[in-house]
Structure 1
């Protein structure tokens, strides 16, 4: 047996032990597995990804792929991607996949035979290949980490995907720095080479330059809207502030928990908050005004002094946020869009009572909206979220209404809940 085949066999054996629950994360750390793979396997297992299912279930957005393609910023860069990647892939057993930021595949092109074979694992436009939907895979994990990733054969979490290797690089808006998608090459073992990574990386640079040139020629009002500051506070990632400097270059800053709390509260109170009121919302009044003033002084250095005013403390210009996107989508009854924008609980580590109320309001409102639709596809997406894992009523509804495969999965999950909680 060659060294590469022996290594694959070793990884496959470790994978079987891990998904069977016979070894834990500490055991994985003692194996030759790369850290990025170990951590992705852990996330995949925690999110309930089925290693025996196809690479991913079709997302609810499959029905609107045409609309997504038409409005997605990467649509304008297709000629660049096809010239640099797809043209050479058509006769080389390789596929080029372009995904949106939420992991939905928008285009899958390249070798016709490979594309047909990949249909068996649902590697098709409209499918959800986010890490939470498909487990460890290059495009999904690249989006989860916002970093270039290569996943080799048996490193995939799903068994059906393990015959393939893949290389993916995330794509960002050239002005705001916002993650807008990923470009992936999927094929045989050669696809996980350093040369392939360099090729995909160069393509992404060309695409981002193309988008920057288009942005430069757009009307100033569009530029201004695109560069609006953005707050990211949903999910397990550290809260972030995204904006642009005076030259239009994107800037990002990780926020402390307290600063993220303050920005969330100010965004929900456009009328402003006094120092005393803000202290109460942050910590039931256990903070004093001096502490609040010190925090606001530090926060101004992060977001810019022109954006924060005092007496009362308030934001002087609108900001966008993933939190507002979910609330807005729920307000207009677009439950699918709300799920798209919902990366997870609001500031899960925050001890602010006001943020805690908002966290509960958001999660409960989203769950209620999903249940009210009666749409099994939306229900499946909710159950894949951290809050959905222990949602006994949701899993019971899936068990009662779904197809045999989903019934089996839901029944197993309910049995696990019964074992854990009694």
Structure 2
């Protein structure tokens, strides 16, 4: 499905093909020359002509000042996957003299980075954070076309509708919310001819796939403070894209209180909570000191979404969206696929707190049993990618029993079980 004029689109991993370019040159003020353009760009020029009266002087508008932009970026979901783009795109782009831009679903550029010289040149054409590069704002460009069509696209210099963009070539593709399929934004590679080289668009799409996979294991935005504990040695609390790291001890306390809140809801006394964390009584003073520090952190950070710790007994003042609980809820509903999406590994793997060890075993066993009982071959294969399932012979044998005889996955599973 494609909807123009700023509507939503379904993302399509395919990209616009690049047949041999014709010698006729397309110019904005002569529609008869537009047949020289590839079909997707020709359609974009027709749309662009409705938006830009004077493509010769048009410049992308900068609609957000630094303060508004900083606040908006802190809340945007793509902030969570910036390290992936930094590693997979920005660093290679800088080495190649190119620029990487990440924009939102309306074509507003949020982050622009890469080669220093290329960045300075790009700013001269308003290719900068806060500028809008939608079709409505600046006509045909790779970010604008990608957002409208839901496909990856490459645009050579004079294929841009506005003259101010003619000094660049660019490749771009949309990125979607893996939980809902909705459009999150666009990722663009801009610069010289290297930006539209054969490998450029696949490089962008590989980075987007990695980012979407990361977003998929993060909890969906529920408006509640979210605690990330599964498969990570850096537990975090956050709401939307605003996230803060927690110490292991504070993550243990919040996990135990969140779990209690979803079951009995009666809270824990200082003695009970100390025993769950330290394994024996007599540590109440140490626990109370940690509670004081944790309460101070929760009150000082927006990432906690106003959640606080109440005393006598210890309990959370509001619900906490705990990824471990979401996995168990999904399993209870028979939604093994969602459980696998969220389950990135063992609960707080560094923790040796008895209460956490018990919960860790409970969650791991619940997932394993659900898959052994009702899992599809695809789900079992996904589960076998987890480190805790590396040598689980029963799961391997179950997958072999369910896989079709001609499945190429069978050989890999047989080899996996060799001593």
TM-score, structure 2 as length reference = 0.50
1:266–1:111 distance in 2 versus 1, CA, 3 Å: same
- Measured in 2, the distance between the counterparts of 1:389 and 1:239 equals 24
SS of the residue 2:12 aligns to: strand
**What is the match of residue 16 of structure 2?**
111
2 CA distance for matches of 1:346 and 1:78?
45
Match status 1:408 vs 2:411 = yes
Which residue of 254, 258, 262 corresponds with 2:253?
A: 262
2:341 aligned partner: 340
Q: Using the alignment, how far apart are the partners of 1:405 and 1:238 within structure 2?
A: 36
Question: May I ask how many residue pairs the two structures share in their alignment?
Answer: 246
Distance 1:81 1:365, change over 3 A: same
Shift of residue 77 of structure 1? 10
1:388 maps onto 2:389 in alignment: yes
1:337 counterpart SS class: helix
Q: Show structure 2 runs of 5+ residues with no match.
A: 20-78, 93-98, 106-175, 179-183, 209-220, 300-305
3-state SS of paired residue (1:318): coil
- Alignment pair present for 1:398 and 2:399: yes
Alpha-carbon distance in structure 1 between the residues aligned to 2:197 and 2:356: 43
CA contact (8 A) 1:233 1:346 kept: yes
Cα distance in 2 for residues equivalent to 1:331 and 1:384: 22
**Counterpart residue number, 1:312:** 313
Partner of 1:240: 236
Q: Does 1:292 align with 2:297?
A: no
Distance 1:327 1:77 in 2: 40
Deviations 1:154-203 (A, max 9, x none): x9xxxxxxxxxx9796979xxxxxx946755699963699x99xx99xx9
| TM-score, normalised via structure 1 length | 0.50
Which runs of structure 2 are paired with 1:217-236 in the superposition (5 Å)? 226-236=222-232
Any stretches of 5+ residues in structure 1 without a counterpart? 1-68, 70-74, 83-97, 99-105, 115-141, 156-165, 173-178, 204-224, 245-249
User: How far 1:236 moved relative to its partner?
Assistant: 2.5
2:217 maps to what in 1? none
Q: 2: distance between equivalents of 1:321 and 1:77?
A: 38
1:114-164 Cα deviation digits (max 9, x unpaired): 9xxxxxxxxxxxxxxxxxxxxxxxxxxx98775424648xx9xxxxxxxxx
Evaluate the alpha carbon distance shift between residue 387 and residue 170 of structure 1 in structure 2; reply closer, same or farther with a 3 A threshold: farther
Q: Which residue of 2 aligns with 1:92?
A: none
Aligned to 2:373: 372
- Give distance in 2, aligned partners of 1:76 and 1:353: 53
Q: Residue 276 of structure 1: which of 267, 271, 274 is its match?
A: 271
**Within 5 Å, which residues of 2 pair with 1:202-217?**
none
The answer for the alignment partner of 1:148 in structure 2 is 85
Task: Name the larger-Rg structure.
Answer: 2
Match of 2:111 in 1: none
Whole-Å separation in 2 of the counterparts to 1:243 and 1:282: 26
**What is the alpha-carbon distance in structure 2 between the residues aligned to residue 189 and residue 389 of structure 1?**
41
* Match in the other structure for 1:60: none
- Determine if contact 2:309/2:317 at 8 Å carries over to the other structure: yes
CA spacing shift, 1:171–1:401, aligned 2, 3 Å:
farther
Retained in 2: the 8 A contact 1:151–1:192? no
Give the direction of change, closer, same or farther, for the CA distance of 1:331–1:358 in structure 2 (3 Å limit): same
**Structure 2: distance between partners of 1:231 and 1:406:** 35
- Deviation of 1:316 after TM superposition, in Å, equals 1.1
2:345–2:387 Cα contact (<8 Å) kept: yes
Q: What is the correspondence of 1:77-226 to structure 2 with a 5 Å cutoff?
A: 79=6, 106-112=11-17, 146-149=83-86, 151=88, 180=177, 183=186, 190=195, 226=222
